[in-house]
Homo-oligomer: A and B are copies of this chain.
Amino acid sequence: MEGLSPEEWTAVRLSLKVAFVAMTASLVPGVAIAFLLERGRFWGRQALDVLVHLPLVLPPVVVGWFLLIGFGRRGPIGAFLDEHFGIVFSFRWTGAALACAIMGFPLLVRAIRLSIAAVDRRLEDAAGTLGAHPVWVFGVVTLPLILPGIIAGMVLSFAKAMGEFGATITFVSSIPGETQTIPSAIYAYTQVPGGEGGAMRLTLVSIVISIGALWLSEWLARRVRRKVHA
């Protein structure tokens, strides 16, 4: 098997960037929404829960289609963001990151929710009696205790972003150097007779990256676990 072409390298670099940004950007909202869903008792909680799960339930193409309608240049949210903040998603790598973040969001949120549910609330109470405001309690007690869940959620989000294709290509199409991630490149290979070699090459790259990411996450998780349980 030959090495990667410069175009493929571009796709690999872009995929890494997109996956990393998608993962990072969804972290804070992910934790916040996980917290709301797990602990909150508010009107519309159920609706929020469904909304978070939708990207999982709907075919990716449909998600991409909704994104296009909502976040496209002419979409209500897209137009608003463009006008007021100069944020443009359509045909940009940021759009790919948005699509990946949204597709990975249910996975991230679930992992964090599970960890939040496992937190011993008596410890949070104890922190409260020691004078910690609930925000601090969250920061210095809850957050460190749910780190394993956050790490797991990040792994899932990153992995999903590495493999996401349907929503991304529908939303921002496949522009080499801008939105053509590894999956889009693989897709192109699978669409031509005899393209298996190229597809396999990129698939292997994906696998290698995921090995690296998993290894990193396990290492982090071990460190965290040692901190908590040793």
Which residues of A does B touch, CB under 8 Å? Answer: 46, 49-50, 53-62, 65, 106-107, 110-111, 113-115, 117-118, 148-149, 152, 155-156, 159-160, 162-166, 182-183, 186-187, 190, 199, 203, 206-207, 209-211, 214-215, 218, 225
B60 touches A163 (CB 8 A): yes
CA distance A11 to B50 in the complex (A): 22
B159 touches A57 (CB 8 A): yes
Smallest distance from the beta carbon of A34 to chain B beta carbons, Å? Answer: 11
Out of B49, B60, B206, B207, which one reaches A166, CB within 8 Å? B60
Out of B115, B206, B207, which one reaches A114, CB within 8 Å? B115
Residues of B near A160 (CB, < 8 A) are 56
Q: A57-B159, A156-B107, A162-B57 are in contact. Are A203 and B115 (CB under 8 A)?
A: no
Residues of B near A209 (CB, < 8 A) are 57
Number of identical protomers: 2
B107 touches A214 (CB 8 A): no
Q: A56-B160, A165-B166, A210-B53 are in contact. Are A148 and B114 (CB under 8 A)?
A: yes
Chain B: which residue is nearest A50 at the CB level? B211
Out of B61, B65, B107, B214, which one reaches A46, CB within 8 Å? B214
B62 touches A207 (CB 8 A): no
8 A-B pairs with the lowest CB-CB distances in the bound complex, closest first: A118-B118, A59-B183, A57-B210, A59-B165, A56-B159, A114-B114, A57-B163, A57-B159
Q: A156-B107, A186-B62 are in contact. Are A49 and B214 (CB under 8 A)?
A: yes
CA distance A57 to B203 in the complex (A): 9
CA distance A221 to B37 in the complex (A): 13
CA distance A60 to B169 in the complex (A): 13
A106 touches B156 (CB 8 A): yes
In the assembled complex, 12 residue pairs joining A and B whose CB atoms fall closer than 8 Å, in A order, are: A50-B214, A55-B163, A56-B159, A56-B163, A57-B162, A57-B210, A58-B183, A59-B165, A62-B199, A106-B159, A114-B149, A114-B152
Residues of B near A65 (CB, < 8 A) are 190, 199
